Amino acid sequence: MESPVTRLPTRRRTKSYGRSCFEASSRFAYTSGQLTILRIPTTREAPRARNIAERVDPEQVTLLIKNEWKLSYVTPLYRFRHTHLKKYSKHLSAFIAAEKQQGTAVEVGLETGYRVTFSTVLGIAETDEDAETVFIQIQSKPMFAATGDALKVVWSGWLTCVNGSPEYLHSLLPDFVSLPLFCSSGPENITVVVKSWFEKMFDCRFGSLGLDSTSLQWLCALWTGCHPDNNIRYLRLLWTLPTQPPLDVSYTVNPQDAWELWNSVRQEDSVDGTVGIDEVKHFMAGLESHFFRHFKIYLSSGTLRKVSTALGSAQQDGKVKILCSDYLATVLTLLTECAILKMPI
Amino acid sequence: MSKTMSKSHNVSEAESCIHGAANRSSRRSERRRADVEDPFGRALEYFSQVKAGTPVKGNDALENNLVLVERVALGRGLPPGAVATLLDFALSLRLGSSVCSRVLKFLIPASAVPQDSVVRGVSWFCMGKMPVSAQILFLRWILTMFDLIDSKDQLRSIYGFIFSFVTDEVLSPYVCHLLYLLTTKEHVQPFRVRKLLEVQAKMGRQPPLTQLLALYKVLCPEMIAISMPSKTRGGFKNHNLPWKTALAAVLKKNKTAEAPSPPLSLDIKEKASTRKRKKLHHLEVPQLSCGPEIESSRGKAVHLQQLRSFAQLLQNLDNIELPAQMGSLLSSSLALHYLDCVHDESALLRLNFWLGSVLHEEFLFCSRDGNPENSTEPSQFLDMLISTQDFLQECFSSSEFFLFKFLAMWDGSLHQPQILSLLSDIPPLPVSRMKMFLFEPLQQLYFTSSVFFKCGVIECLRSMLWKWLTWHFVQTSHKELDVSLSSSRTMNLHMSEFLELVTELVQYVGRLASAGLQLENYHILLHHQTLNFYELVCDVYLKFNLPLFLLPPSGVIFPSLLATDPVTVDRLGYVIFRYRQNLMSAKEHKQQKKEPSFHISRDVFREFNLLMVAVVSCLWISKDCQVDVGTDVHKALVPLRTMLSYCKNYNLIHHPAFLNYAIEFHQKCWPEQTNVDLSSIQGKKYWYWYLEFLFSQGFDGLKDFIQNNMDHQSTPVGGH
C-alpha cells in the first residue's frame, strides 16, 4: 500500500490534504488504500502453546493475564518514544492530579496523590514491525496512609501490537508508532483521563473496540483446538435471541466433546498449522445443530455474546480476559487485527 | 509623606522655577515663539519642569495647565511625547498622589504610547513610594493602553520586576493580567511556576492567576498541568472603565484612512457551554495548544494561539509551531489559512487520522450513547467540514475514505444535504475505483428514493464535475505557465485517464437521468436539474478547454423536447446551441492548428447532426414534411423516423408548451376572429412575427438556437 500521503513537490500552488490528488503523476497511481488492502483473513495459524515466560518477564506476564480488560483501538501515536517513558510518567501523574482538582495548576514532577509508571513489556511483539508493548500502572496513595504503607494499584492499562498487518505498518510515516490495541482495567473516570492525556500528547484518538460474532467464533474454535495440550475444562457460549423479551441462552459444552467436534471438521489438507474460516463456521454449525436437535431453537438467529473457556473469555462489548499466558500471542494477534480494521485511514 | 513635604515649599520657589524656565527658553527664541502660539506646548513644558514640592492648592498655573492638557487629551488625544512627559510627571509624585491620579485619568494617547515612558513608569512603580490606589490605577492604565504601546521588548525584559508583585494580594490580579499579556516562552521558568503555585496555594484559585498558569501550560506543557473547569472560563475583568469611552472616541476620531485588516478571530466556535453529554466529546474540535517540549524545538517558535490577525500570521509564517492536536486547526479561520501552508506530511496525516476517526466513530460505528434524536451536533460538524473543504477547495482523504464506507450503509436520508455536498468534493479517481465505491452504491439509492433525492444526486454530480473541470483547467493552465515542469508525455497519459473518467461520469448521469425521468413521470424539477447538468457538459470545450463532446442520451433529449412547459424546451435549445458553438470552434481550431493529438471522432458530428435534424424537424417543419437524413442511415434513426411521424404536430405553433403563446399571438393578430385557426400563423410573414413574439417572451435559449441554426430565408416547410 502506498503511503496515504505522497510527497508533495515544493513548487506547487495547490496541494492536498492527506494525499495529492492534483499531481498528475500521483493522482491515478494511488491504490485504494485500506478499502482493498485490509481484509479479514480467512485463515489463521493454529495456536501453538508456547511458554511465554522464556521471552517475557514472568512478573509482567502475570500483570497482563490477571485482569479483565476493556478493549479500545487507538490511531497511531505521533512522536511516541519508548525512551521517554519516565517523562511520560511524571507528566501523566500531574495531569491526573490536575484533572482531579479542576482549575488548580499542578507542577509536573512533584509528588501528587497518584504515581504513574510506564514500562515496556519486551518480548510480546512477534515481528520486527511490531512496536514494543507499553504497560501503564497508576497507583494511589491512600489519604491517611502511614509512610510505610504500600501504594494501591487503582488502574492499569497497556498498548500493544502483535503481528500487525505489515502493509499497514509500512504505510505509516516514521514519526508514528502504531500500538493499535489499548486494554484498560480500572475506574472509567481514570480511563477517560488517560485517554485524553494520550490524545493531547500524541495526537491520537481512541474508540471502543467490540468483538463481532466472527471474531468470537474464531476465539471459540482456536481455544477448543488447544484442548489436547491444555485442558480447556469447559466451553461456554452465550447467545442472545431476538425474542420479546430477549432470550439469553447459555450453552456449556463438555471440553472433550467440543474437541472431538472440532477435530472432525478439521480438513485433511489443512494440517499444516493453519485454520480456515470454513472450518470455524462448520464447527459453529455443528454446535448449533446439536442445540437445535434438543431444544428446537436456531441459535444462528441470535447473536453470540460471549465465549469462555479455562484459557480465557471474550465478550461482544470488548471485554477480554486471558487466563493462560501460553496462547497470548494468538489472542493478541486476533485482537490487534480487529483494532487495525477500525483505523479510519 | 510627599504631600506634607510639598506644603513646606513656598510660592517664591515656584515662581523662580517658572522664571528659570522662561530664561532658558529665551535662549531659544524660535522655540519660544512656538510656545506662545501653542499654549499646549507651554503646559507640557511646565509639567516637565515643575519642581517637587510645588504647592497644589491655589496654584493657578498648575490648575490652568491641567485643565488645558485635559481638554486636549479628551478632545484629540495626547501625542506620544506628551504622554511620556505627563506619565513621568504623574508617577514621580512631584505634586502628590491626587494630581497623579487626576493626570492618569485623562491620559488618553492619540496614537501610540512610547515604550520608554512605560518602562520609566514601572521603575517609579517599583520604588514603592506610590500609594496602592495609584499603583492600581497605573496598572489598569497600562492594561488599557497595552495595545497602543509601540513595542514591548523592553517591557518583556523587565518581566522579572513585574513578576515580583505577583505575591501582593491587592495588586496580584492586575499584575497577573499584565504578565499574561507579556509572557513568552522564555519567561516560563520552573522557579516562576513554583512561585505561582505557591501563590495559588495561599490565595486559592483566582481567575487571573489561573489564566496566567494556563498560559504557562500552553507555552510549556512539560512544566505544569492544569485543567480548566468548564464553568469558570471567564478570564480577566476589564480594567478600562475610566478611559474606555474617551479612548474609543479619540481613536475613532483619529482613525481616518487606516483600514484595519479584517478581524480573523481565533475562536469562531464557542463551545456549547452547557454540554451535558460529555460522552459525545468525539465531535468536539480540540483546542489549539502546543505540543510537549520533550524534544526541544526551534528557538523562535511561535504558537498559533498567540496570533491574533492575518498580518501577524504572515509575519510569523516560517516560525509557527504546529499544534499538539492537528484537529484543532479546523477550529478557526486563521488556523485554516495556516493549514493551507502546511507541507508537513506527518501533520496532514495526523489531521486525517483525527478527522477520519471522528467521522467513523460518529457515523459508522455509531458510538453515540442513546440520544439518537439529537442530530444537530453531527450536522453542525458536517457543515463545519463542508465549509472547511470549500475553503481549502479540496477533500480530505479521510473524509473520502469515510464517504466510500458510509455510502454502503447510508439510507439516503440521514444528513442528506451534507452528505451530498461532501460527495461532490470527491476528487478525480481511477474509473474502476469510482465505479465501485461511488457510482454503484449511489445508483441503488437513486433508484429507490424520492424525486427530490434524485434531484439532489444530479446536482451533487454536477457540482462534482464542475470542480473536476475547474481543477483540471487550473492545472493545465498552470502547467502552460512553466513549461519546465511539465513533460507532455505524462500529461497525455493522465489526460486520457481524466477524459475517461469524465466520460464515464457524464454517461452515468445520462443513464440516471433518463431512467429517473421515466420513473418520476418526467418530473419538472428533475428535468431542470438534468438540463442544468448538460448546460455544464455542453460547454466543456470552450469553458474548460477539454476536447470532450458528450451529447445527452435520447432519454433526456426527447422528453425535454416534448415537455409541456416552455422553459424546458427553451433550455434544451440553449444546450444544443452551446454544443454547436463548441463543435464549431473545435473544428476551426483543428483546421488551424492541425494538431495530431487533437481528434474529434466523426461519430460525434454525426450524432450531433442527427440530434439537430430531430429537433429542427420537430420544432420547425410542419406536418407534410418527410425527413431526409441522407444515405448514412444510422440505426438510431429507425425509431427516430417512426417517432417523427407522431411528432409532426410538435412545431412551435402546435407544441403543447407553446400552444398558449400561439393562441395569444393569434388573438393579437386577428382580434376579431373567434375561430382560432393556428395554421394561419404558418404564413411566412406571420411565422417570423410569431418567432419575434416568442423571443420577446424571454425564450433566449430558443432564440439562440433558432437564429444560429436556421437560415432566415427558409420558411417552415409546408407553409403557405
B274 or A44, which is more confident: A44
ω into residue B131 within 30 of 0, thus cis? Answer: no
Are the beta carbons of B224 and A107 separated by less than 8 Å? Answer: yes
Taking a contact as any Cβ pair under 8 Å apart, which residues of chain B between 419 and 438 contact chain A?
Answer: 427-430, 433, 437
Q: Is the minimum CB–CB distance between B326 and chain A shorter than 8 Å?
A: yes
Q: Which helix or strand (DSSP H or E) is residue A43 part of?
A: strand A43-45
Predicted local confidence at residue B276, as pLDDT = 37
How much is the mean pLDDT over chain B? 79
Task: Give the model confidence (pLDDT) of B664-688 as tens digits.
Answer: 998 888 888 878 777 788 777 888 8
Judged by DSSP in three states, B59 sits in coil
Neighbours of B645 (CB within 10 A): 9
Return the closest-CA partner of residue B565 out of B524, B530, B534, B614. Answer: B524
Burial B199-222 (b: 16+ CB within 10 A, else e): bbeeeebebbbbbbbbbbbbbbbb
Return the closest-CA partner of residue A70 out of A207, A232, A229. Answer: A207
Distance in angstroms (rounded) separating the CA atoms of residues B343 and B533: 36
Residue B226's Cβ-count burial label (10 Å; 0-12, 13-18, 19+) is buried
- Quick one: cell of B522? 418526467
User: What does DSSP say about strands A235-241 and A133-140: parallel, antiparallel, or unpaired?
Assistant: unpaired
Distance in angstroms (rounded) separating the CA atoms of residues B66 and B106: 10
Among the partner-chain residues A21, A32, A75, the one whose CB lies closest to the CB of B428 is A21
Are the beta carbons of B339 and A10 separated by less than 8 Å? Answer: no
Are the beta carbons of A203 and B324 separated by less than 8 Å? Answer: yes
Among the partner-chain residues A19, A78, A97, the one whose CB lies closest to the CB of B346 is A78
Residue B4 has pLDDT above 80, yes or no: no
Task: Give the model confidence (pLDDT) of A29-59 as tens digits.
Answer: 233 344 434 566 788 888 877 777 788 888 8
Distance in angstroms (rounded) separating the CA atoms of residues B290 and B320: 10
Interface test with B, best of A168, A192, A203, A341 (most B CBs within 10 A): A203
- What's the whole-number mean pLDDT along residues A260-267? 89
- What's the whole-number mean pLDDT along residues A134-146? 81
Predicted local confidence at residue B240, as pLDDT = 66
Band of pLDDT at residue B334, cut at 50, 70 and 90: confident
Distance in angstroms (rounded) separating the CA atoms of residues B572 and B704: 11
Residues from chain B that touch A86, judged by Cβ atoms under 8 A, are none
Predicted local confidence at residue A145, as pLDDT = 61
Return the closest-CA partner of residue A205 out of B303, B405, B359. Answer: B359
Rg (chain B; Cα; Å): 39
Distance in angstroms (rounded) separating the CA atoms of residues B424 and B438: 11
Distance in angstroms (rounded) separating the CA atoms of residues B42 and B283: 64
Are the beta carbons of B437 and A35 separated by less than 8 Å? Answer: yes
Which of A243-252, B34-43, B429-438 has the highest average model confidence (pLDDT)?
A243-252
Distance in angstroms (rounded) separating the CA atoms of residues A332 and A181: 9
Band of pLDDT at residue A24, cut at 50, 70 and 90: very low
Residue B297 has pLDDT above 90, yes or no: no
Predicted local confidence at residue A134, as pLDDT = 95
Rg (chain A; Cα; Å): 23
How much is the mean pLDDT over chain A? 83
Return the closest-CA partner of residue B118 out of B95, B150, B96, B73. Answer: B150
In this structure, are residues B138 and B130 in contact, taking their beta carbons and an 8 Å threshold? yes
Task: Give the model confidence (pLDDT) of B227-269 as tens digits.
Answer: 776 555 556 777 666 787 788 788 777 765 444 444 444 443 4
- CA B572, distance to chain mean position in Å, is 36
Q: Is the minimum CB–CB distance between B405 and chain A shorter than 8 Å?
A: yes
- What's the whole-number mean pLDDT along residues B410-421? 92
Distance in angstroms (rounded) separating the CA atoms of residues B303 and B309: 13
In this structure, are residues B446 and B457 in contact, taking their beta carbons and an 8 Å threshold? yes
Are the beta carbons of A345 and B397 separated by less than 8 Å? Answer: yes
Q: Which helix or strand (DSSP H or E) is residue B409 part of?
A: helix B397-409
SS3 of chain B: helix, strand, coil, percent, to 5: 65, 0, 35
Tell me the ipTM for this assembly. Answer: 0.88
Residues from chain B that touch A345, judged by Cβ atoms under 8 A, are 349, 352-353, 356, 397-398, 401
Q: How far is B442 from chain A (nearest CA, A)?
A: 17
Band of pLDDT at residue B589, cut at 50, 70 and 90: confident
Return the closest-CA partner of residue A326 out of A225, A235, A175. Answer: A225
Cα pseudo-dihedral A105, A111, A113, A114, rounded to 10: 100
Any idea how long chain B is?
720
What percentage of chain B reaches a pLDDT higher than 90? 21
- What's the whole-number mean pLDDT along residues B331-357? 86
Are the beta carbons of B205 and A25 separated by less than 8 Å? Answer: no
Q: How far is A20 from chain B (nearest CA, A)?
A: 9
- Quick one: cell of B678? 393556428
Predicted local confidence at residue B54, as pLDDT = 80
Distance in angstroms (rounded) separating the CA atoms of residues B191 and B196: 9
Residue A260: C-alpha distances to residues A25, A28, A235, A310 (Å): 57, 52, 13, 17
Neighbours of B244 (CB within 10 A): 12
Phi, psi (deg, nearest 5) at residue A74: -130, 135
Burial B486-495 (b: 16+ CB within 10 A, else e): beeeebeebb
- CA A49, distance to chain mean position in Å, is 20
Residue B490 has pLDDT above 60, yes or no: no
- Helix A277-295 with A255-265: angle, nearest 10 deg: 130
Residue A219 has pLDDT above 90, yes or no: yes
Distance in angstroms (rounded) separating the CA atoms of residues B603 and B606: 5
Predicted local confidence at residue B273, as pLDDT = 36
Return the closest-CA partner of residue B85 out of B151, B23, B40. Answer: B40
Among the partner-chain residues B216, B325, B401, the one whose CB lies closest to the CB of A345 is B401
In this structure, are residues A217 and A304 in contact, taking their beta carbons and an 8 Å threshold? yes
- What's the whole-number mean pLDDT along residues A17-37? 34
- Quick one: cell of A259? 474437541
Q: Is the minimum CB–CB distance between B285 and chain A shorter than 8 Å?
A: no
Residue linked to cell 505634586: B95
- What's the whole-number mean pLDDT along residues A72-89? 94
- What's the whole-number mean pLDDT along residues A2-15? 33
Return the closest-CA partner of residue B225 out of A56, A19, A92. Answer: A92
- What's the whole-number mean pLDDT along residues B298-324? 78
Interface test with A, best of B232, B345, B475 (most A CBs within 10 A): B345
Are the beta carbons of B394 and A16 separated by less than 8 Å? Answer: yes
Residue A18 has pLDDT above 80, yes or no: no
